[in-house]
Amino acid sequence: MKRPFWKTAGYQCFKNAFWLIAVVFFRFQWRGREHLPQGTGALICSNHQSYFDPVLVGICFRHQINFLARETLFRVLVFGPLIRYLEAIAIDRDGLGVSGIKETLRRLRRGEMVLVFPEGTRTVDGQVAALKPGFCALARRGRVPILPAGVDGAYDAWPRSRRLPRLTKLCTCFGPVIPLAEIEQLDDDALIAEVHRRILDCQQQARRLRGLHVPDGDAVP
């Protein structure tokens, strides 16, 4: 289903504004353009450091991508109407919920990209936590590849313990997609392990892009 012009134009305006803010105030950089799928839907799986993360991933794409948001956020003054206008997908407290799953699959099947955070919540220490298995069924049932992504700097800028963000460099990196054929060959445990490995690799690439040292022992082969 094609979105009306007033929504696509509005999305692009917001994206351009966020891009400008990210570059000017947070010295934003990103890598991995060559890995972004063209002309197909995809499930983008990223680590989750702060409220900045959806923006840090979304501004890297020329076209509109889809975000998930807790249903309670749709009732927040100003923010609720904004994410409704941007057509975020509502999820319940414990996960996607039936309606959230159906809408996510609907958008994947019509060739759109959906961003999910498999950790399920923001990190408490800046590290990539264990992944929850829900994304496996989404990729399989949506019949789309998985695009791994990693953000870094967002935890330093806006950790869970801070009410307001502070200025620091933010970076995003994307890795090679996991094609549907490979996804179908792996069971859930193996797929979770592979996606976790790739997200961690992307996050470490983002750390290097920020100019930080990543010990060789922590590198992902």
Q: What is the pLDDT of residue 221?
A: 36
* pLDDT band of 219, cuts 50, 70, 90: very low
Percent of the chain predicted with pLDDT > 90: 80
Q: What is the pLDDT of residue 217?
A: 53
Phi and psi at residue 75, in whole multiples of 5°?
Answer: -100, 0
* pLDDT band of 176, cuts 50, 70, 90: very high
Decide which of 111 and 2 is more confident.
Answer: 111
* pLDDT band of 69, cuts 50, 70, 90: confident
Are 65 and 149 in contact, with CB atoms under 8 Å apart? no
Quick one: average pLDDT of 184-209?
A: 98
187 three-class SS: coil
Tell me which amino acid residue 147 is: L
186 three-class SS: coil
Pairing, β 68-70 against β 89-91: parallel
pLDDT in tens, 24-64: 999 999 999 999 998 889 999 999 999 999 999 999 999 99
Q: What is the pLDDT of residue 94?
A: 61
Decide which of 171 and 219 is more confident.
Answer: 171
pLDDT in tens, 95-108: 667 888 999 999 99
Question: Is the pLDDT at 22 greater than 80, yes or no?
Answer: yes
Question: In CATH, what number does 5-218 get?
Answer: 3.40.1130.10
Phi and psi at residue 152, in whole multiples of 5°?
Answer: -145, 150
Q: What is the pLDDT of residue 143?
A: 97
Quick one: average pLDDT of 60-71?
A: 93
Question: Is the pLDDT at 165 greater than 60, yes or no?
Answer: yes
